[in-house]
Amino acid sequence: MSRLRCGFPLGFIALVWGLLCAQVHAGVSAEAAGENTQNFALTAPLHTYAEVIDIDGAEDGSKRTGQAAVWHDTSGQADLSAALRALQAGDFRPLPGAGSTGMQKGSYWSFFVLHNSTDAPVPLHLEYVDHQLIRLQAFESPVRAAPDFAEVANLAMGESFAMRPVFHNRFVVPVELEPGASEAFLIRLDSEEAGFVFPSMRIWTPDALSQSHTAETAVLSFLFGGVTLISLFSLIVGLTTRESSFFAYFVYGLSKIAAWGTILGFTHQYLLRDGFHWSYMSAAGAVSILCGVIFDRLFLQTRKYTPRLDLVLILMMVNAAVLLGSALLQIKALALISITLALLLYPASTVIAIVRWRQGSSEAAVFAVGWTLLLAGLFFQALRDLGYVEHNLVNYYLPPLSSFIEMVTIMAAMGMKLRRLRLQGLESERQYRRHLEQSKVKLEGLVRARTEELEKAKQQAELEARTDPLTGIRNRRSFLADAGLCIKRAQRKGEPVSLLMFDIDHFKSINDNHGHGIGDEALRQFSVTIQQKIRETDVFGRLGGEEFALLITETRPDSLHTAERLRDNIAQIRLDCPVGSVQFTSSIGVAHATQDESVEQLLRQADHALYCAKERGRNMVVEYTAEPNASERGLPLSESQHVDMLSSLEPA
């Protein structure tokens, strides 16, 4: 039986080949198989057919048996009699190579002699050097002319673990040598179909083997515990960062533990003690391959950065799934094809990691180192399986050790990735804060600008609400409000107040003869002329159409003088138009505040005076003078009263 290496094809292909290549064995007849070895006589003493190994009672596993006399039964059906005939015929020969038969069909027989050189009985444990054998049969006979071989052990992988005479994950045959006695042994090593066989057994005293097994178990427990801690750490980091590659690494680590525990026999020893089957080893290896490739894809981000090479990893995942199915269904031919393809594709992860490193991923370089160390350990195992390297406990545990080192190395790469993610997070946070600060400054600027715009809009709206759009002076509402305040202020101070009401003479004819554009310009020039001749404290506004009002804080004579001056200035206005120059005059009505009149009362009085000015020929100033008690009633005068009680001032 060949070996499975935790989902790693270099050794795994040997196991699958040995378990899967079904052959129809050309066996010996049933009669030959049932021959009584008691009637078979060798032509020479047993000790002459093989080396004799001296036993001194201090065996610690350093002595090994079997490789000096090995017979290859290509049929895999030979029994003890056939093996004895082969021994007599000289078919038992030293095993070439460093200890492995290589990939061969059939079974192997090993012959050796143990001699107790002490004067006390010596109990021994003969341990098969590897874990991968399907069946082991051991026959023992005292060294004498007539062989009397009896079966002392018949161990099989598929049998209940409780049937093994020694509690060990590998096959162990217990024997005892009498003082000074020599015992011959024939060991049948069977992989049942084809595979690697190591026809050798270590010689131990029971206590030494127990101590060695305890030490081996402790070492593997340390390795498994380390992988478990790494996996749990990955799980915790994954839960913290929500990074999928850490979850994949957690599952990958657990699959390694399950695969190695199954391949090395500890699953059979401690968990599945009954009904164990070789397909469990293949299935565990397939799961480990699948989990490893999934992790590779997530960690190296091949889908994003190397999409073409990612197809190779997808192919490996599909192939691992096929291998798992064929192992569970025991489809041997399909499993052989799958593991062969896995062997060819497995180094692709290292190549992809190197490509990602060249793209700038520093953790990919560390990943490539770890994966290369794993491949190196598996390659060394392949050399051992092929017989180029001697089998010993060091290289026996080299593949799981290299797998552990790979986990630690890749964990370092995961740490680098975690640090990079943390730095990226901090940088993103800094950029976010910087963006918030910039957004805050920008927002404050926008709010300030918007506030200024709104303030300007408010001021503009207020101005438009208070200003006549054509002339730019106060409109009627604004004039009434400002004039009312001015009158109250003057009344508190005891100052005289006069109101002048203007009307442009014959303004309709200007619009009719020269157009509304000239009429609008006449209104603007009229307003400009008045504004240039009055004080800032005076209140000037347009009441509507061609009517204007001016409130001044002057005495009656001064107000009349101002009115005459303004009338004269208005008469000097010249407007250019296509047909020549346009002039216009203005009639002015003046009203004086004698008591607590309101602005509305003054407007009515000035309006009556203005009406009188128009009746008398326009382009003149007319002062409003009320008859006794007329102003108190606040009623307009009759037409005759209006003419009699107004005194006109001729133009100066």
pTM for the whole structure = 0.63
Cβ contact 141:37 at 8 Å: no
517 located within any domain: yes
The predicted structure's pLDDT at residue 578: 83
Which CATH number does the domain housing residue 602 bear?
A: 3.30.70.270
Helix, strand, or coil (residue 198): coil
520 located within any domain: yes
Residues 254, 159, single domain; the answer is no
Distance CA 135, CA 19 (A): 12
Q: What is the DSSP letter of 193?
A: E
Residues 356, 494, single domain; the answer is no
Q: Which domain holds residue 595?
A: 476-649
pLDDT tens digit string along 165-220?
Answer: 999 999 999 999 999 999 999 999 988 766 778 898 999 999 999 999 999 999 99
445 located within any domain: no
Of 149, 176, 205, the residue that ends a domain is 205
The predicted structure's pLDDT at residue 241: 86
28 located within any domain: yes
The predicted structure's pLDDT at residue 384: 82
Residues 348, 237, single domain; the answer is yes
Domains held by the chain: number: 3
- Alpha carbon of 535 to those of 35, 362, 539, 554, 652: distances in Å? 148, 83, 9, 11, 22
Distance CA 550, CA 538 (A): 7
- Alpha carbon of 196 to those of 24, 80, 110, 354, 440: distances in Å? 19, 22, 15, 34, 74
Residues 542, 393, single domain; the answer is no
Residues 358, 482, single domain; the answer is no
The predicted structure's pLDDT at residue 341: 84
pLDDT tens digit string along 260-287?
Answer: 899 888 898 899 888 888 788 888 989 9
Mean pLDDT of the 313-330 span: 90
The predicted structure's pLDDT at residue 136: 94
To which residue do tokens 């020893």 refer?
269
Q: If residue 184 lies in a helix (H) or strand (E), which one and from where to where? A: strand 182-195
Residues 74, 97, single domain; the answer is yes
Distance CA 227, CA 206 (A): 31
Task: Quote the mean pLDDT of the chain.
Answer: 84
pLDDT tens digit string along 412-425?
Answer: 998 888 888 788 88
Residues 345, 406, single domain; the answer is yes
Which CATH number does the domain housing residue 161 bear?
A: 2.60.40.2380
Q: Please, which residues have CB within 8 angstroms of residue 200's CB and are 6 or more apart in sequence?
A: 64, 65, 66, 67, 99, 110, 128, 129, 391
451 located within any domain: no
Q: Where are the beta strands (DSSP E) in 14-169?
A: 52-55, 60-65, 70-73, 104-116, 122-128, 135-142, 150-156
Of 142, 171, 205, the residue that ends a domain is 205
Residue 146: pLDDT over 90: no
Residues 228, 351, single domain; the answer is yes
The percentage of the chain sitting over the pLDDT mark of 70, rounded to a whole number, equals 88
To which residue do tokens 């049933």 refer?
30
Cβ contact 575:522 at 8 Å: yes
Residues 189, 116, single domain; the answer is yes
- Alpha carbon of 333 to those of 157, 196, 203, 324, 336: distances in Å? 22, 18, 38, 13, 5
HSE toward the beta carbon, residue 651, CA cutoff 13 A: 16
Of 205, 222, 243, the residue that ends a domain is 205
Residues 286, 398, single domain; the answer is yes
Residues 159, 255, single domain; the answer is no
Residues 59, 136, single domain; the answer is yes
Q: What is the DSSP letter of 641?
A: H
pLDDT tens digit string along 547-594?
Answer: 999 999 999 999 999 999 999 999 999 998 888 888 999 999 999 988
Residue 529: pLDDT over 80: yes
The predicted structure's pLDDT at residue 150: 93
Cβ contact 130:3 at 8 Å: yes
- Structure tokens, 583: 């002039």
